[in-house]
Structures are given as C-alpha cells and as structure tokens.
Chains A and B, each alone.
Chain A
Amino acid sequence: MRNPLRSEAEAFRFLIAVILGALVIIGAAYVSTWLGVAAAVLAVGGIAWWLKQEPVPGAADPPRRITSETPAGVHRVLVVANETVGGEALLATIERVARPGTELLVVAPAMPSQVRHWASDVDGARADAEHRLQASLTRLEATGLEVRGEIGDDDPLVAIEDALRTFGADEIVISTHPEGRSHWLEQDLIGRAQARFALPITHVVVDFAAEHSPVPRG
C-alpha cells in the first residue's frame, strides 16, 4: 500500500492525484450536481484504489529468508510458545528433539490485546507470559537440559527473528493451540515462519482440554 507521507516523492504524487480528482469533480459538478456527486465518489474511490497499489514494483516481494548458524558440535533449539508453554505435548516434543548437551531457548511472546498493544500497556501481558515461562523452565530444567527463557515481541515472527539474532538455532519448535482456538494458526504463523526462516520448523499442537481430560480421546 502507498503511504502518501512516506517520502516527498510519494506526497508529490498524491498531490497530483488529488489535483486530477478535483478537476474531475469540478468539471462534473458544472454539468450537474448529481454528476458532481458521482464524480466525487469515483474520484475518492480512484484515489483510494491508487493508494492501495504497490508504489515500487517488487517492493512486496517476500523478504530474504533468514538462516542461522551454531558452532560445530553445538545443538540449539529455539522454542516459541505462549499460553501453551507448559503443555505436555510441547514438553514431550522438546525431550524428543533434544540431545545430551542441547541448548534450549524458550521464547514466550507477550500477548496483549490489540487495544493494550496500541496503548503500549503490555506490562500485564508480559507478567503473565513471565509467570508461564518460569513454570515451564522449572519443568524443563528438571530434565537436565540447558535451558533459558525470555519474553519476546508480541508478534511471534519478530520474536523469532529477535531470538535468532542472539541465539543461533539449528531448529525451531512452535507451539500453538489446536486449529479453531489458535490466533497464530489463524494468522498462518507456521506457513509464514517457514517462508521467513530457512530452518527446520516443528509445529506442536497443545490441546489443554485433551490433556486434562480424565478419559483419553480415541
């Protein structure tokens, strides 16, 4: 989408578009008032359509895939989970992918509501994430893994990218709620992560309802 205030050149083009739109409206209004109204609707719609166009061909190309490296002999796993950070399925997956000596970084993105995000009122969400993360780290440390955790950006892709800048990983584990209850899956987080990061990605579904159910589902 064009942002008419992104640069002087964009603002100048927007000005030209507005001048053309104004000329069309004025010309139509001289013929008939209702023709002027129709021209105004068309002109505003046309400018809105123009603003939605990509300003630079190729600018919307997917960004370069991000890769990551670890020193020889070191195996590192990046785990991204929020509300599911303490799920049994996730812990089982971590135990499966981990080898002796594996270094583990668990990132729990803070998840404030959209309103709180815009108001930068994220302290509560970060505190909640911190609480869940600590509980999960305690359980993982008990397995003998070298593990640490941190709170990440509320955009999980940004959280992964942030983590990879300081923690080179060999693979990524992303944990979500089941389909239908997961905002991340609704936003196609797994697909976008696979497109963005050139690393093996394991998707774990944590279904708390099933885990806490007294009768196993079958």
Chain B
Amino acid sequence: MATHAEHLEHHGPPAPHYSSRITPGVLGMFLFIASEIMLFGSFFTAYFFVRVVNGTPWPTPPFHLPVYVAFINTCILVTSSFTVHWALQSIKRGNVWGLRAGLLLTFLMGLTFLITQAIEYSRIGFNTTDGAFATIFFCLTGLHGAHVFVGLSILLFMTIRAFRGHFSAEHHDGVEIGGIYWHFVDVMWIVVYMTVYIL
C-alpha cells in the first residue's frame, strides 16, 4: 500500500479533513461573534440615535449616573480577568491550588460586580419608562449584566470542577474556553462603561 512519508509514524485512519475551508469550531466561534456584534450593535445603534442624532442630554437632567461606583465596578471586573488568566496559567504549570484560588476569586469578583450593579439599579433614581436615555441605559447595562450572569454560571461550574480535580496541566479546555468568554464580557463592559458613563 502506498504510504505518505509525512505520516509514516501514524497508525490508523488518516486524520480527518473538513470539506469546509474552516473547521466547525472556528465557524461556530465566528457565528457567535457575529451574533454578539449584531446584538450589542443594535443597542449601540439605538444609543447613537438617541444621543447623537436626536441630541438627547446624557444623562438627561435631573438624573445622574453613578460614575464612580461604576468605576470601582469596572476595576473589579478588569481585575477578575487577571485572576482568571492567573488561574489558567497556574493549571498549565500543574498548580491546582492556583487554579482553584484564581477561579474562586474570579467568581467572587464577578458576583460582586453583579450585586453592585443590582444595588445601583435600585438606587439610581430612574426607571426604564423615564425617557429614551433611561431605556438605553438599562438596555445596554442590562444586556451586559445578562452576559455577566452567563459568565458567572460558567465560572461556577468551572470552579466546582476545579475543586473536584477535573483539570490538569494536560486537560484544561474547560478553563480555557470559560476564560475566553470572561475576557469577552470584560471587553464589552469597557465599551459600555466608556460610552454610557464616561463620554
């Protein structure tokens, strides 16, 4: 039988080739990104029309946005990205306790962010019915909050699995993928924080 020099050491059937030019995993990730861009993009488009096209004052008087509380919250969320990165670097070196500590810290910081946001909502002094500004504010921050909630759910399972010893230096895809999602949530928050609170 003819052999393939590059695979002389290979036994069994040849490695699969996908008929598509991109692998299913990459295609799935691209579709995910596309759907998220459309989702956030629709809300940012509404924000743009309300604030730039219509010239709605931001925030509309007499309301105020809790910029400093949100800044502290931003610091917490950004720090949580560092801890999840630390967790993954730890398990890559076989440090299981570093992984556990990193994931636990990340989860607690994410939870703190979400609770702080909920408290902020309850004390902010306006509601979704108080004009376009309020609607867009709650839609954008709420949409992001929903993503944080999903991320926290993923982190919870990652943390439980870490404490059960499911991850090792060789097998840690669950941490890798959860970490990617958590960084994505962070990136979106920076954009939301910058446009809604700062600019």
A213 near B: Cβ within 8 Å? no
B180 adjacent to A5 (CB under 8 Å) = yes
* B: number of interface residues (CB 8 Å): 35
B180 touching A153, Cβ below 8 Å: no
Tell me the chain A residues, 106-142 only, with Cβ under 8 Å from chain B: 117, 120, 122
Complex Cα–Cα for A53 and B84 (A): 25
**A71 proximity list for chain B (CB < 8 A):** 1-2
The answer for the CA separation of A153 and B20 in the assembled complex, in Å, is 8
Give the residue of A64, A120, A164 whose beta carbon is less than 8 angstroms from that of B20: A120
B-chain residues with CB within 8 Å of residue A166 when the two chains form the complex: 2, 14
Contact of A26 among B15, B21, B187, B199 (CB under 8 A): B199
Proximity string of chain A (72-83) to chain B, C-beta cutoff 8 Å, 1 when within and 0 when not: 001010000000
CB distance from B148 to the nearest CB of A (A): 15
Contact of A11 among B183, B190, B198, B199 (CB under 8 A): B183
B190 to chain A, nearest CB (A): 5
User: Of all chain B residues, which has the CB nearest A155?
Assistant: B21
Given A5-B29, A26-B198, A11 contacting B7 (CB threshold 8 A): no
Instruction: Point out the residues of chain B lying under 8 angstroms from A51, CB to CB.
Output: none
Cβ of B194 under 8 Å from chain A = yes
B171 to chain A, nearest CB (A): 15
- Chain B contact surface mostly: helix
Whether B5 is near chain A, meaning CB under 8 Å from some CB there, is: yes
B187 touches A15 (CB 8 A): yes
Contacts of A120 in B (CB 8 A): 20
| 1/0 contact string of A166-195 vs chain B (CB within 8 Å) | 111100000000000000000000000000
For chains A and B in complex, what number of residue pairs have CB atoms within 8 angstroms? 93
**Interchain CB contact under 8 A, A168 and B2:** yes
Q: Please name all residues of chain A whose beta carbon is closer than 8 Å to the beta carbon of B103 when the two chains form the complex.
A: none
Q: Is B6 an interface residue (CB 8 A)?
A: yes
Using CB atoms, name the residue of chain B closest to A162: B17
A208 at the interface (CB under 8 A from B): no
**Residues of B participating in the A interface, judged by any CB pair closer than 8 Å:** 1-7, 14-15, 17, 19-21, 26, 29, 33, 78, 81, 84-85, 88, 175-177, 179-180, 183-184, 186-187, 190-191, 194, 198-199
16 extra interchain contacts, Cβ-Cβ under 8 A, other than A8-B183, A9-B85, A66-B5?
A: A5-B33, A5-B184, A7-B176, A12-B183, A14-B187, A15-B186, A15-B190, A18-B187, A26-B194, A26-B199, A29-B198, A66-B4, A68-B5, A154-B19, A158-B17, A169-B2
Ordered by A's residue number, 27 sampled pairs between the chains whose C-beta atoms are within 8 Å are: A7-B176, A7-B180, A8-B85, A8-B175, A8-B176, A8-B177, A9-B88, A12-B81, A12-B85, A12-B179, A12-B183, A14-B183, A18-B187, A25-B199, A29-B199, A68-B4, A68-B5, A71-B1, A74-B2, A117-B20, A122-B19, A153-B17, A158-B21, A165-B4, A165-B15, A168-B2, A169-B2
